[in-house]
Structure 1
Amino acid sequence: MDEVRKQFLEEKQKFAEEFRNKKPEDFILQHKGYQYPIALCKLETFQALENVEARSEDVMLVAYPKCGFNWAIQLLQNITSAAHPENEGKPALAVPMLEFTSPDKVQEMKSFPSPRVFGTHLHYDEIPASFFKNRTKMVVVFRNPKDTAVSYFHFCNGNPLLPTCISWDEFFNKFIAGDVFWGSYFSHAIAWNEHIDDEDVLLLTFEELKEDLKGGIKKIADFYGFSLSEEQIQSVADRGTFKSMKETSKKTHFNLSDVFFRKGEIGDWKNHFTDLQNKEMDKKFEECLAGTKLGAKLKYNLYCKA
Structure 2
Amino acid sequence: MSDAARSAPPEAGPPRAGPPWIDPGIQSRIAWRDGDVVISVPPKSGTTWTMNIVHQLLAGAPSEFRDIYEEVPWIEFLAHPGETPQDVADRVAAMPATARRAFKTHSAPPDAPFLAPGSGRDVKYVVVFRNPEEAIVSFRPFLEQHSDAWFALWGMPREALCRPDFPRFYAEVVDAHGMQGAFFGFLAAWWPLRHEPNVLFLHFSDMKRDLEGSVRRIAGFLEVEPDAQTWPRVLEHASFAWMKRHEDKFEARSAGEVRILEAGAMIRKGETGQAAAEGMTPEISRHLREVGGRICPDPQAVAWLYEGGPLP
Tell me if TM exceeds 0.5. yes
Residue 47 (structure 2) pairs with residue 65 (structure 1) = no
Q: Which residue pairs with 2:110 in the alignment?
A: 125
> Which of 63, 81, 87 does residue 104 from structure 1 map onto?
87
1:35 aligned partner, one-letter code? A
| CA 1:300–1:178: 2 relative to 1, 3 Å | farther
In 1, are the aligned partners of 2:15 and 2:185 still within 8 Å (CA)?
no
Deviations 1:75-119 (A, max 9, x none): 111111018x9xx99xx9456100125533421322422311111
| CA 1:251–1:299: 2 relative to 1, 3 Å | closer
| CA 1:167–1:106: 2 relative to 1, 3 Å | same
Residue 42 (structure 2) pairs with residue 55 (structure 1) = no
Residue 143 (structure 2) pairs with residue 141 (structure 1) = no
Counterparts of 1:138 and 1:267, CA distance in 2: 27
Secondary structure in 2 matching 1:149: helix
Counterparts of 1:178 and 1:185, CA distance in 2: 13
1:109 aligned partner, one-letter code? V
TM-score between the two structures when normalised by the length of structure 2: 0.72
1:245 aligned partner, one-letter code? M
In 2, are the aligned partners of 1:214 and 1:233 still within 8 Å (CA)?
no
| CA 1:77–1:251: 2 relative to 1, 3 Å | closer
2:58 aligned partner, one-letter code? T
Q: Which residue pairs with 1:264 in the alignment?
A: 270
The offset of 1:230, in angstroms, is: 4.5
Counterparts of 1:298 and 1:275, CA distance in 2: 15
Counterparts of 1:158 and 1:206, CA distance in 2: 22
Counterparts of 1:66 and 1:168, CA distance in 2: 15
> Which of 34, 40, 43 does residue 16 from structure 2 map onto?
34
Secondary structure in 1 matching 2:103: strand
| CA 1:186–1:57: 2 relative to 1, 3 Å | same
Counterparts of 1:110 and 1:120, CA distance in 2: 17
Secondary structure in 2 matching 1:159: coil
More helix by share: 1
| CA 1:269–1:56: 2 relative to 1, 3 Å | same
> Which of 192, 200, 215 does residue 194 from structure 1 map onto?
192
Aligned pairs for 1:1-306 within 5 A:
34-38=16-20, 40-41=21-22, 46=25, 49-82=27-60, 93-94=70-71, 96-100=73-77, 103-111=86-94, 112-113=96-97, 114-128=99-113, 133=119, 134-160=121-147, 161=150, 163-173=161-171, 174-176=173-175, 179-180=178-179, 183-253=181-251, 256-271=262-277, 272-284=279-291, 288=296, 291-293=299-301, 295-296=303-304, 298-299=306-307
Query: Taking CA–CA contacts closer than 8 Å with sequence separation of 6 or more, which of the two structures ends up with the larger relative contact order?
Result: 2
Counterparts of 2:77 and 2:22, CA distance in 1: 5
Counterparts of 1:199 and 1:266, CA distance in 2: 29
TM-score between the two structures when normalised by the length of structure 1: 0.74
Please, what is the CA RMSD of the aligned residues?
3.1
In 2, are the aligned partners of 1:175 and 1:184 still within 8 Å (CA)?
no
| CA 1:236–1:285: 2 relative to 1, 3 Å | same
| CA 1:225–1:35: 2 relative to 1, 3 Å | same
1:142 aligned partner, one-letter code? F
Gaps of 5+ in 2: 1-13, 152-160, 254-260
1:268 aligned partner, one-letter code? Q
| CA 1:146–1:41: 2 relative to 1, 3 Å | closer
1:108 aligned partner, one-letter code? R
Secondary structure in 2 matching 1:96: coil
The offset of 1:291, in angstroms, is: 3.7
Deviations 1:50-80 (A, max 9, x none): 2321113112100001001011101111111
